Structure 1
Amino acid sequence: MSTYLTLKKHLQNQAIYHIHNLNSEHFSKIWETMQLEKHYHAFTFGHSCMTKYLSEHIEEIKNQKNIKIITGVREPIARNISWFFQVIHCQSVFPEFFIKYQEGLITMDEIIKKFWSQKFVYGKQFDWFEEELQPVFGIDIASIDFPKEKGYAIANFPDRNIDLLVLKLEKLDSCLKEALETFLGVENLDCERLDRADFLEADDYLIYDNLRKSLTFSDEYLEEIYDQPLVRHFYTDEEINKFKLKWSSQR
């Protein structure tokens, strides 16, 4: 989100979108679910309408415009906790979660149990590249060299009129400004970093922080998650060992 806000501020004459889905077939299923649930925030609905339009017109856009894609990776467990908290109020998780939690109708034990019931917590990580980037743009992320210490990679596909920037979120403080200026061919970007606390009310952030500190992970789970090829494609052995140590210490 902080990258999106930076671009909107400095490139006001450009069409800039913050979306998660480009695969029209995939998003149509999400859209159908939304229509059935009828339980979503106004911002979420507006965001989804834009996503629906772009995903349905992506082939037309690809033939007319130079497309610059900026995407990021985040270590899997932190990413999964963050994503779970983003959808925690949905009908399929805890409808009206924040009200019910404040009223004592939902406990932290119930939240943790629900976290472990989510499919994205298990299995393949970084599946966005396989489900969205590759089928829509024909880009195999594993074939792109990623400088792990540098924290970002730029790949150009002139035959497809596409430029791609991949950022490692753990390196944003040191690489975001350089990466964006190099990728966009601009200077003097004022890159403002925003943390989770900037997007949540104080009480909601306390719930998120409590959840993050309450979850525990077995050695077997840590090995399964961090030994996956794409995780090792983006992260050094030292980084992975630090992640394992961080989450294994919560026991």
Structure 2
Amino acid sequence: MGIKGKIKNAVVYNLCRSYILAKWINILSLKQTYKKNESGVVIFQMGKVGSSSIYESLKAAQLEIPIYHAHVLTSDRLKATEELARTHWQPCRNPIHLWHSFILSDELRKRHQQKWKVITLVRDPIARNVSAFFETLHLLEKSNQQKLMTSNDGQDLTQLFLSKFYAHDAPINWFDDELKPVFEIDVF
């Protein structure tokens, strides 16, 4: 990499230390990948169900249609998820999924008359919640995280999972809270 590339990377890295600037830079970049006036395939489901594998496989197939991937699209959930991302902002962990969701939500509103192909996935609710718990453990228990991760005593983790993990009902409510209001699909 030449000196210009190194300078550009250093500038972008330092700009991205701010959540607002990182979001702005990434959304501008992401918008370039969206094909205007063309609906595509939307992979839309709760997190921790294996959707990244489906998304990456479809992208690798180099289809002639856009592929979108999101976990939340309703304005209330987008706001709540963004607040969580801002509160726990880490420059090395950009919430690209969230920023994709903002763009996709906007595109769906603009083009609500177009037909979209929607892929949604499910997973055993307990396995999904355990996976989500370990991914977000650093948000739940910063002070004791290292102790919890190295402890041989599963009781501490079990207690934390049962008492502080916020999303026990996510697998039950996600379809009614997210899929139904956005796409007017009632799976039940």
Q: What range is the shorter-chain TM-score in?
A: 0.5 to 0.7
Matches for 1:137-156 after TM superposition, within 5 Å: 137-142=183-188
* Alpha-carbon spacing, 1:102–1:137, altered in 2? closer, same or farther (3 Å): closer
Contact 1:134 1:140 in 2 (8 A): yes
Match of 1:149 in 2: none
TM-score normalised to structure 1 length: 0.47
What RMSD, in angstroms, separates the aligned Cα atoms of the two structures? 2.9
Contact 1:76 1:125 in 2 (8 A): yes
1:61 paired residue among 111, 132, 136: 111
Match of 1:23 in 2: 74
Matches for 1:41-52 after TM superposition, within 5 Å: 41-43=92-94, 45-52=95-102
Gaps of 5+ in 2: 1-51
Question: May I ask how many residue pairs the two structures share in their alignment?
Answer: 136
* 2:68 partner SS: coil
The list of structure 1 runs, each at least 4 consecutive aligned residues, that deviate by more than 6 angstroms after superposition, is none
CA distance in 2, matches of 1:139, 1:103: 40
* Alpha-carbon spacing, 1:39–1:139, altered in 2? closer, same or farther (3 Å): same
TM superposition shift of 1:116: 0.6
CA distance in 2, matches of 1:111, 1:137: 37
Contact 1:101 1:107 in 2 (8 A): no
State, as a whole percentage, how many aligned pairs show the same letter: 29
Match of 1:136 in 2: 182
The aligned amino acid for 1:10 is: A
* 2:119 partner SS: strand
* 1:27 partner SS: helix
* 1:69 partner SS: strand
Match of 2:127 in 1: 78
* 1:38 partner SS: coil
Contact 1:22 1:58 in 2 (8 A): no
* 1:127 partner SS: helix
TM superposition shift of 1:10: 1.1
Q: Bigger shift: 21-30 or 51-60? A: 51-60
Matches for 1:1-251 after TM superposition, within 5 Å: 1-39=52-90, 41-43=92-94, 45-63=95-113, 65-90=114-139, 93-95=140-142, 100-101=146-147, 104=150, 108-117=154-163, 118-121=165-168, 123=169, 125-142=171-188
CA distance in 2, matches of 1:32, 1:84: 19
CA distance in 2, matches of 1:103, 1:116: 16
CA distance in 2, matches of 1:81, 1:5: 23
TM-score normalised to structure 2 length: 0.60
CA distance in 2, matches of 1:61, 1:95: 42
* 1:119 partner SS: coil
Gaps of 5+ in 1: 143-251
TM superposition shift of 1:50: 1.4
